[in-house]
């Protein structure tokens, strides 16, 4: 029997985005209804001792996974501010603040005609997209001919760590009781507050309002939204690096959905070029208020990215997880810049294998 990684020890970290992405009602989701959803117990921070790791890792079985290596929100601010001071190509703005008063940022690099928006960590306990976005900003704002060429072709708009209050609860022992770190401080799942069917109240979801204003200003050609699921296999049994999905709601303009499918195909190809990485297709749902569907209904092509290994976001896997997300950001930007994005057949996304079984525990 193949032994597998430890199951995360709480419902928060075991469910990733799976449970919430299926079965939600196709109706207007009011804030009261959203707030009425019971919060699950909080994430445990230390994986139990367990059996041998699965081949094809790096999976972190049997190790404590300290989260102290992640950028605190203060460190994120320092990194972004430092970059903006050193790099003329990067414009940093405070675009709002979270319910608990933590600043929300946009970082804009380039002035090209194609605009890519990158959103990270609207679920506070899904951190690696933020780490990767900082690395990508450093790379694309650099004083190199390659970066300059990308900036002439593409405008990159990053809104990192949309839910800093949830992240604080995720990483601070003092916050282990209370609201699920996935949700904001009004106990709302921000990823049910997007698009024309949602009606987020800025008083309880200022994070969504801030992002919507950034998108309205920049009118991106594509929005990529970074999350974590737990670790899954491909349908052939290998470890899946990430799962992706475009807007699948039936009312999304087909041309808008097609660009999301192009993005999925481009990410699949970029990760494949990177080596042994495998991208799978995330299960579909018609929930209209996720970013993937809600932003699509608003007319923005959108792609959901669900990285593997939410429960393994500690030191040992940090490098691999950041590299995988960074590769997806690079691949999409380069494809927008060189025209290959538009030349991509949306049907290529259909060739991505379906997500396989969940890895649910060392055995």
Residues 26-65 as x/- pattern, contact with Zn ion by CB under 5 A: ----------------------------------------
Whether 139 is catalytic is: no
Q: Which of 17, 197, 225, 298 binds Zn ion (CB under 5 A)?
A: 17
Active site residue: 168, 212, 306, 334, which one? 306
Angle CA(273)–CA(276)–CA(282) in degrees, nearest 5? 90
DSSP tag of 360: -
Size of interface with Zn ion, in residues (CB under 5 A): 4
Q: Are 205 and 98 in contact (CB under 8 A)?
A: no
**Cα–Cα distance for residue pair 363/211, rounded to 1 Å:** 42
> SS3 of 163, please?
coil
> Which residues are within 8 A (CB) of 47 and not within 5 positions of it... i.e. 6 or more apart?
5, 6, 8, 9, 60, 61, 62, 63, 64, 65, 311, 312
Q: Which is nearer to Zn ion, 60 or 191 (CB)?
A: 191
Q: Which is nearer to Zn ion, 188 or 335 (CB)?
A: 188
- Residue 230 or 332 with smaller CB distance to Zn ion: 230
Residue number with CB closer to Zn ion (17 or 298):
17
Q: Which of 123, 233, 292, 358 binds Zn ion (CB under 5 A)?
A: 123
Segment contacting Zn ion by CB under 5 A, of 12-20, 241-249, 280-288, 315-323: 12-20
**Is there a contact between 100 and 166 (Cβ–Cβ < 8 Å)?**
no
Q: Which is nearer to Zn ion, 163 or 278 (CB)?
A: 163
162, 120 in Cβ contact below 8 A? Answer: yes
**In this structure, are residues 161 and 121 in contact, taking their beta carbons and an 8 Å threshold?**
yes
Query: Residues 85-104 vs Zn ion: string with x where CB under 5 A?
Result: --------------------
- Residues in 126-185 at the binding interface with Zn ion, rule: CB under 5 A: 126
Residue 316's CB is within 10 A of a number of other CB atoms, namely 17
Are 246 and 344 within 8 A, CB to CB? Answer: no
Of positions 15, 227, 262, 358, contacts Zn ion by CB under 5 A: 227
Catalytically active residues are 306
Which residues make up the interface to Zn ion (CB under 5 A)? 17, 123, 126, 227
């Amino acid at each position: 029997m193949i032994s597998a990684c430890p199951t995360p020890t709480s419902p928060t970290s075991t469910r990733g985005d799976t449970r919430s992405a299926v079965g939600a009602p196709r109706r207007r989701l009011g804030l009261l209804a959203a707030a009425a959803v019971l919060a699950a117990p909080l994430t445990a921070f230390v994986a139990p001792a367990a059996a041998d790791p699965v081949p094809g890792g790096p999976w972190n079985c049997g190790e404590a996974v300290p989260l102290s290596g992640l950028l605190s929100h203060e460190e994120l601010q320092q990194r972004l501010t430092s970059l903006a001071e050193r790099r003329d190509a990067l414009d940093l703005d405070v675009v709002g603040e979270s319910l608990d008063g933590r600043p929300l940022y946009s970082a804009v690099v380039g002035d090209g005609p194609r605009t890519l928006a990158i959103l990270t960590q609207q679920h506070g306990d899904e951190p690696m997209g933020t780490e990767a976005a900082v690395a990508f900003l450093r790379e694309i704002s650099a004083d190199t001919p390659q970066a300059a060429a990308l900036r002439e072709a593409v405008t990159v708009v990053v809104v990192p760590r949309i839910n800093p209050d949830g992240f604080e609860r995720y990483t601070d022992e003092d916050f282990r009781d209370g609201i699920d770190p996935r949700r904001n401080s009004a106990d709302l799942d921000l990823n049910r507050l997007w698009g024309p069917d949602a009606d987020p109240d800025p008083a309880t979801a200022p994070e969504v309002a801030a992002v919507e204003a950034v998108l309205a200003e920049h009118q991106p050609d594509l929005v990529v939204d970074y999350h974590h699921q737990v670790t899954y296999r491909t349908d052939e049994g290998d470890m899946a690096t990430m799962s992706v999905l475009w807007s699948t709601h039936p009312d999304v303009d087909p041309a808008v959905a097609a660009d999301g499918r192009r993005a999925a195909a481009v990410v699949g190809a970029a990760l494949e070029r990177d080596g042994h990485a495998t991208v799978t297709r995330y299960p579909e749902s018609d929930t209209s208020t996720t970013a993937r569907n809600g932003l699509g209904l608003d007319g923005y092509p959108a792609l959901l990215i669900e990285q593997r290994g939410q429960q393994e976001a500690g030191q040992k896997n940090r490098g691999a997880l950041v590299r995988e997300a960074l590769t997806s950001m690079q691949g999409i930007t380069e494809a927008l810049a060189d025209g290959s994005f538009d030349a991509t057949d949306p049907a290529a996304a259909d060739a991505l294998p379906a997500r396989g079984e969940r890895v649910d525990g060392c055995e």
